[in-house]
């Protein structure tokens, strides 16, 4: 356990940051699952594009604040966009 006041404060700060990051990651995962579900149900292309746009904005913000690693954000955006493009090409 931390003994100095500085170490104790750092523990409190780390816990706050952890909870904040956890909330953002959970929200992003939920949006991703919803988008993938809608893709599998072959929803309207315009609606899927709008969902993708909002998800990309969330991902970019998470990468900027280092909630997620920027390379992870880029990979996830790329994979989702490829799936969306493949789905649009089939129609």
Averaged in consecutive runs of 10 residues, what is the pLDDT profile of the chain (91 residues)? 95 97 97 95 89 97 96 98 91 67
How many residues in the chain?
Answer: 91
Question: What percent of the chain is helix, strand and coil (3-state, nearest 5)?
Answer: 85, 0, 15
Enter the pTM of the model.
0.86
pLDDT of residue 43: 82
Please return the burial class of 68, using the count of CB atoms within 10 Å of its CB with bins 0-12, 13-18 and 19+. Answer: buried
Gyration radius of the chain's alpha carbons: 18
CATH architecture of 5-90: Up-down Bundle (1.20)
pLDDT of residue 39: 93
Q: Which residue has the tokens 């998470």?
A: 62
Domain locations in the chain as residue ranges: 5-90
Q: How far apart are CA 85 and CA 8, in angstroms?
A: 50
pLDDT of residue 91: 67
Sign for the CA dihedral angle at 47, 33, 88, 55 comes to positive
């Amino acid at each position: 356990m931390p003994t100095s006041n500085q170490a104790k404060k750092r523990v409190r700060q780390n816990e706050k940051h952890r909870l904040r990051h956890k909330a953002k990651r959970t929200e992003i995962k939920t949006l991703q699952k919803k988008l993938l579900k809608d893709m599998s149900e072959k929803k309207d292309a315009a609606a899927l594009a709008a969902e993708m746009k909002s998800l990309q904005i969330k991902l970019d913000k998470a990468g900027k604040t280092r909630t997620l690693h920027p390379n992870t954000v880029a990979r996830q955006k790329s994979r989702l966009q490829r799936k969306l493009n493949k789905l649009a090409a089939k129609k």
